[in-house]
C-alpha cells in the first residue's frame, strides 16, 4: 500500500517494503552507517562501531512484525532511503532510518521524517513519536532536536557482546530515548528541501 507523497518531495514515493526489497535495504542501511562508504554522508557510525548495523533477518523481522511497517523511499524508481514505524500504544516508534550517503545533507531526511510522522498519526492516531539514538551522537541528536524531538534522559544499555548490532570501539555507548508530540502541526514540517541541512 502506498502512502501519500509530500507535495514538495522532489518526486519521492513511499511504499511498504516487501521481502524482495530486503537485500537492497540491508545494503542501504549498511552504507549509511558502517564502513568507508558511510563516510560520504554525515550519519556514519564508523568511528564508534564496526561490524554490521543490521542483517537480512533483522530487516525481515521488521517487515513481518505485527503493527510494524518498513517504508521504502524511492525517487525515480530507485531506493534512496527507508525508515521503520512501529505502533506502540499511544506512540509510534521510528527506527531503521537510512538515507543514501551521497544524498545526505540536502534536506531529504527532513522530508522523510515528516512523512513518517504524518503516516503514523494518520494510520494509528498516535500522539507521540519515539526513537532511540546512541547518546554520544551529538550531531545526530541536534538534528532531531531541530525537527522538534526532545531528549528525555532515559537511557538503555548498548548490547555489548551481541555482534548483530556491531562491534563497539568505545565503552560508553548507551541509547537515549527522544520523543516528539506529533498531534498538531505535522503539515508545517513538510516544507520542501533545504539545501545544506542534514540528512
Is the confidence at residue 143, as pLDDT, over 60? Answer: yes
Quick one: which H or E segment has residue 33? helix 22-33
Nearest to 6 by CA among 97, 91, 92, 73: 73
Let me know: does 59 contact 16? Beta carbons within 8 Å: no
d(CA 106, CA 100) in angstroms, rounded, equals: 11
Is the confidence at residue 42, as pLDDT, over 60? Answer: yes
CB count in 10 Å sphere of residue 68:
17
Taking only the tens place, the pLDDT of each residue in 8-31 is: 445 899 999 999 999 999 999 999
Tell me the pLDDT of the chain averaged across its residues.
Answer: 87
User: In the structure grid, which three cell numbers stand for residue 129, read together?
Assistant: 513519536
> What SS3 class is residue 163?
helix
d(CA 41, CA 101) in angstroms, rounded, equals: 4
Residue 3 neighbours by CB under 8 Å, 6+ apart: 14, 15, 71, 115, 119
pLDDT of res. 10: 56
Mean pLDDT value of segment 100-120: 94
Mean pLDDT value of segment 143-149: 96
Is the confidence at residue 193, as pLDDT, over 80? Answer: no
Any idea which residue has 558502517 for its cell? 34
Is the confidence at residue 111, as pLDDT, over 50? Answer: yes
Mean pLDDT value of segment 66-80: 95
Amino acid at each position: 500500500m502506498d502512502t501519500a507523497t509530500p507535495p514538495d518531495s522532489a518526486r519521492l514515493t513511499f511504499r511498504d517494503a516487501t521481502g524482495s526489497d530486503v537485500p537492497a535495504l540491508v545494503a542501504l542501511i549498511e552504507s549509511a552507517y558502517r564502513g568507508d562508504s558511510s563516510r560520504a554522508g554525515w550519519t556514519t557510525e564508523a568511528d564508534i562501531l564496526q561490524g554490521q548495523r543490521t542483517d537480512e533477518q533483522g530487516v525481515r523481522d521488521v517487515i513481518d512484525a505485527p503493527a510494524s511497517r518498513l517504508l521504502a523511499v524511492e525517487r525515480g524508481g530507485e531506493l534512496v532511503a527507508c525508515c521503520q514505524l512501529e505502533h506502540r500504544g499511544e506512540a509510534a516508534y521510528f527506527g531503521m532510518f537510512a538515507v543514501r550517503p551521497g544524498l545526505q545533507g540536502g534536506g531529504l531526511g527532513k522530508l522523510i521524517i515528516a512523512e513518517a510522522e504524518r503516516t503514523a498519526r494518520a494510520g494509528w492516531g498516535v500522539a507521540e513519536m519515539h526513537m532511540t539514538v546512541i547518546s554520544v551522537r551529538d550531531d545526530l541528536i541536534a538534528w532531531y532536536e531541530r525537527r522538534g524531538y526532545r531528549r528525555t534522559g532515559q537511557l538503555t544499555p548498548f548490547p555489548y557482546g551481541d555482534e548483530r548490532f556491531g562491534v563497539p570501539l568505545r565503552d560508553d555507548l548507551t541509547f537515549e530515548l527522544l520523543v516528539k508530540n506529533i498531534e498538531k502541526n505535522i503539515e508545517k514540517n513538510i516544507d520542501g528541501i533545504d539545501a545544506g541541512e542534514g540528512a
